[in-house]
Every structure is written in C-alpha cells, then in structure tokens.
Chain A
Amino acid sequence: MLTLKNLSVSIGDKKILKKITYTFEPGKIYAIMGPNGSGKSTLAATVMGHPLYSVSSKSKIIFNKKNIDKLSPDERAKSGIFLSFQTPLSLSGITIYQFMRYALTGRMDPLEIRQKVQEFAKKLKISEDMLSRSLNDGFSGGEKKKMEVIQAAILDPQFVFFDEIDTGVDVDALATIAKFIKKMHSPEKTFVIITHYNRILKYLKPDRILVIKEGMLVKEGNWKLAQVIEKKGYDNL
C-alpha cells in the first residue's frame, strides 16, 4: 500500500506537483491520466526517488507503513517499487541478462534469470537475439517497452508504475503488452498505468482513474471516467 500525503514536488523554482494526497491499495489497478506536462511522470519518478526532484518537507510518501522519503532509488526498488520508464535508456555493452543479474545479485541464480528472461521474452514476442544485444541500443519503441515489462516481471515488485507503456507501440504490441501486464497482476500487487489513451485501459480495466491537471489531483472515478475523458477532453471535466 502506497500513501501520498500532501505531496508537493518542484524542480528548481518550478512547482510541478501540488499537495497530492492519495492511497493506492493492493490488488488494484489504477490509471493516471491528464494533459501533457501535468505532472504524471513526475509523480512516478518522485515515488521512485529521482534525485532531481525536490519534495516539500511537509510531504510524506509511505509505502507499507514505512516512510520512504529518505530512501535512495535502489532502496525503494528493493522495498518493492518499480518504475517502467516512459523513455527507457540504452545501456551500451550491457545485455538484459547482465542488467538483471546486477539487479538481482544474491537474490536470484543467473541461470534462473536467464530462463525467466527467455520465458517472458517469448510471451512478449521478442526474438531471442534481441536479448544478447546491448539493452535498448537501437531498439524500436515497442521493443524498449517490452524490455521494461520483462524487467518488471523478473524483479516481481509489489508496486509498479507503468509510465506511458502504450506510447510508441503498435496495435499488436500493445495487445501483447497489455495482456501480459494483466496476467502479472495479483491480489498483492498494485499497478498504476500512466497514459493519455483509452486503448490500453480497455484491456486492463483499471479499478480507479485519477486525473492530474496542473500538478493537482482534480478528479477520481471508476473506469467510465476514461470514456468521458475520451469524448470530452480534460478541459470540460
């Protein structure tokens, strides 16, 4: 369970998130929607502990009853939070196998990592030769997003932000990714889908939809809200 209390975030002088208070519960899928630049990605990156965002001293981020404000990103990751990046970075000279070996040092056997990567890649329709290449180096948008999903599946975190997992992805890949995510979900897990579009939500049927505008949480509702947004846009909510 993740609770945000009065979450205010800024970069330099610029205020991005303003006093967001919300609790994400286990077993549920959430969607965060909102116009470009409204602060959706900032919210996810802040929870993950991005060093460039400064969090107001009056804010609290509580994960499983523990205050995680002071934790570094790797400590937050180890406590069970995962961020699927909107723009995954390329790592020259490092394959997905190696990357996951580093991430799971002492926690999972390299052979098991290899098998799991291959198993998930197969389900996500990624050819095996992609797995031996430098991660994300020259990969297409869809391939990069699939690699994020593989990482989420192997690290098996309790709480996942999927930041625009659906952008830059073609129709078939979207269906593959969405179905995979749906299967990954379980009663212990909380998934938060950050998106502009309805199409991925049709697969995932989120329990709650949150709308963020100009850094504020302006609306919350069930998944019909997504349809309203699609028809009317954010301005007429």
Chain B
Amino acid sequence: MNQSNDLQFDYKYGFSMPDTSIFQTKRGISPEIVYQISKIKNEPEWMTAKRLRAYEIFLTKKMPSWGADLSKIDFDDIVYFIRATDKQQNSWEDLPAEIKETYDRIGVPEAEKKFLAGVSAQYESEVVYESITKELTKDGVIFCDMDTALLKYPEIVKEYFGTLIPATDNKFAALNSAVWSGGSFVYVPKGVQVKLPLQAYFRINAERFGQFERTLIIAEEGSIVHYIEGCTAPIYVTDSLHSAVVEIFVKKNARVRYTTVQNWSNNVYNLVTKRAKAEENAVMEWIDCNIGSKVTMKYPSVYLMGEGAKGEVLSIAYAGADQHQDAGAKMIHFAPNTSSRIVSKSISKHGGRTSYRGLVQVMPGATNSSVFVSCDALLMDENSRSDTYPTMKIKENQVEVQHEATVEKLGEEKLFYLTSRGISKNDAEGILVNGFIEPVTREIPLEYSIELNRLMQLEMSGSVG
C-alpha cells in the first residue's frame, strides 16, 4: 500500500496530443458519410451494403428507455471516422512521435517487453501498430485489426460478422454496424491453445469523436484463447461516445476468456454490446472491469447453445462522482446440462451510482442446468447509490438456481478496525475495496490486477473527477 503516495497526481492518462489526424469525416451521420467510410477503406460491396442497411436500422431504433441517462448524446455532433496515419505501421520506430509518446505513457512497449503474445493497439479509428509473434502465425492464429481482416480474410468475416449481434439488436449495435472502424479480429484454428493473452489497448484522442470498434473472435473446436482489452482515454470537456460491438464464437470444447479493464475518462459514454455463443462443452468467460467513463451500459452475454456449455461473467464496477455504471450480464440457457455463473461487485463513492442489471433465462428443454448469480454492492458513503435489477426467467423445472445479493456500507467501525492497526484511512479504504473485489481480481493476470488495484486507489483518493 505504500505506493499510494505515488498515485496522488492528476489523472495519469489525462493528457492529450495535438490532433494530427490526416483524414476525418465531418460531424454527424448520413448515408453519404457511411458510404464514404466504406469507400476510404476499400471495402467489399457487401460490407458497404451492410453498413447502409445498418444506418437505416439505426434511424428507426429508439434509444433505450431504461438504464442510464443518455439524453445528452447528440448524434449530429460526433465525428464518426478519423484516420490517424495513412498506413499501418509494423514497427514501433516507424510510428509518428506523438502517437508513440502517448503509447509510451500508457506503457504499451513495457507490456510487450513482458513477452506478451501480441500487442495490437488502436489509436483512434484504426490499428496503427501491431506485432504478432512468429509462434502465433506458425499455429495459424490470426490476430489483426478488423479492417485488415475484412480485406485479407473476407470469407471468414462474412460468415460471422453480425450474425450474433445483428444491426437490429439495439440502436447502438446498429450505429456501430454502420460506422464501425478498427477493433480486433482473432481466429484460433482447431485444437490450438494460445498460451499468452492477446492484448489490445483502446484509446480515444479526438474531441467528440466516437470510437466504434468492432471485434470478432472465433475459437475453433478445442482451442483456447485469452483476449485482453485495456482502455484509457484523455480527458476532454465535451462528451465522447464509445460504442463497440464484440462477437465471440466458442466452438465445441473450446475456451475463450475476454478480459476488459475499462478506464475511459469521465466524459465518455461507454455503450457496448458484447455477446458470445458457446457450443457443446465450450467455456466462455467474460471478466469485465469498469472503472472509468461517465456512463457505461454493458451486459456481456453468453448464449449457451450446446449441451454442457459453461458461461461466466465476473464483473467489477466502480462509480465515483458523476458516474453511472449500469452493468451486468446475460445468460441464456438453450441446451441441457449448461451452467452459468455471474459474480458482480460494484463500488460507489462520492455520489456515484452503480446498477447491476442481469438476465438469466433458462429455455424449455435446458434440463439439469445450473445458475449461480451473486451481486454485491459496496457503498463508500451516504451520497452514493447502488441498485440491483436481477431478472430470472426459468422455463424448465429441473434447474438448480442460486441467487445472492448483498449491499454493504463501508462503515466507520470497519475503517476504525483497520486504522487501529496502524493503517492510514486512505489505505484502509483501498484495502477493503481490494478485498471486496478480490474474487474477481484473482482471475486476472497479475500485472492487470495490480494496475486495477492502483486505478481503484487512484480513483478513490479523489484526485480524479
């Protein structure tokens, strides 16, 4: 805990570089802009058509009437596409100095030094830097940005793109389908086990620029992969929109883990649709940590389609002043012997608001399925708020269901207990919070859980927002 003194500086990632983008669309969205985005990228016609259809759907879809307040989003005041550099860079040295400096400050090269399998970092709309180890390529693993994937592997992309989260799913999925740019593409062939986590960092660096990355992961039969995304963003006065779509296909006996450490600055609307389809005996795990953003609405889901499939969502949400984290999980059991587990930990401080919103649905015929839901909320002061909206629709009798929910107030008594042992009040709060989220952080690779604990400490020390 002695490192907490080092953390008393301003928001570590709250710097912004001069805007040197070489191309961007004008503010607002129209069929012309959607068309323009597709043309600039030299996309196949089917994708252009898909985008334009998605745009039509976006117009007809209503804003969600539930969840967080989204009334401040002005779709006409957003730049939907920016290209930061004119071509892909394949080595760190080739990157423009400013972008490199930004990455240096987030620590991308350090992560690479730690022998992480692949670093693919998205700067504004497109991935400008990536490296894939020879071993991955040798095994036939594909890890690149979505734009590249569309040009190089159009058949695979066409087969899966938008089949799990169609544009019709919700307004923001439609918007993403129309204007998406960047994101990661991961393809793991049958039986291949990727030993080190694949990593991608996302960052927004243009005022009022919406980032609409699109990620597609396909894990073929018996394969294993762990994908990690970490987000940090500079602070701006006006609101930014981040609306991603992530689709994951976990084939028979395959295993995918998707870890997110979301630390957008506190003016970002983070509205993300994440869904995975798990086939027979497949395992899908979402580890979702939301610390930053102004508003987050995100409910990673798993469709348990095959017999014996397992789904898990472990999530942490932290809401400080003027933040609303409306997060949760969805588990839909379609097949027998499927199991799902949701563990949600939320922390509210300085008047922040967290909501757990979950849906567990067991369809008829999904016999011998088991459901476990546990949502715990920790309130750090009297002004903060936490709500739980758990929904269970169980349409099968032979199902084991467990549901637990707790709300704890971090009282004076507990803090007194820790401080009476010689621990400062600030550290004591951090220790209690870290203990509270421990069931989730222990699932995260060490360097991430340390970073996460530091971020939490940083947020709670009040030096942010």
Contacts and interface: CB of A to CB of B under 8 A. Distances in A.
Contacts of A83: 420
Contact of B420 (A52, A73, A100): A73
B431 A51 contact: no
Contact of B1 (A49, A52, A88, A102): A102
A73 B2 contact: no
B416 interface: yes
B45 to A, nearest CB: 54
Nearest to B411: A89
A53 B292 CA distance: 36
A77 B1 CA distance: 17
B322 interface: no
B417 A51 contact: no
B435 A77 contact: no
A85 B422 contact: no
Contacts of B413: 89
A106 B424 CA distance: 14
Interface string B412-433: 1110111111111101100110
A82 B419 CA distance: 11
B236 interface: no
B421 A89 contact: no
A103 B431 CA distance: 11
Contacts of A82: 420
Interface in B373-432: 412-414, 416-425, 427-428, 431-432
B230 to A, nearest CB: 23
B431 A74 contact: no
B439 interface: yes
Given A51-B412, A106-B2, A91 B420 contact: no
A139 interface: no
Chain A interface size range: 20 to 34
A7 B436 CA distance: 38
Contacts of A105: 1-2
Contacts, number: 78
Contacts of B417: 85, 88-89, 91
Contacts of B343: none
B439 A93 contact: yes
Contacts of B424: 72, 74
A92 interface: yes
B435 A93 contact: yes
Contacts of A94: 431-432, 434-435, 438
A167 interface: no
Given A102-B427, A102-B431, A105-B2, A73 B436 contact: no
B437 interface: yes
A151 B1 contact: no
A74 B422 contact: yes
A89 B424 CA distance: 17
A50 interface: yes
A32 to B, nearest CB: 18
A52 B419 CA distance: 14
The 10 closest A-B pairs by CB, nearest first: A93-B438, A93-B435, A77-B422, A73-B419, A94-B435, A103-B421, A74-B419, A89-B417, A78-B422, A73-B420
9 contacts: A50-B412, A51-B412, A51-B416, A74-B420, A83-B420, A93-B435, A94-B431, A102-B427, A103-B422
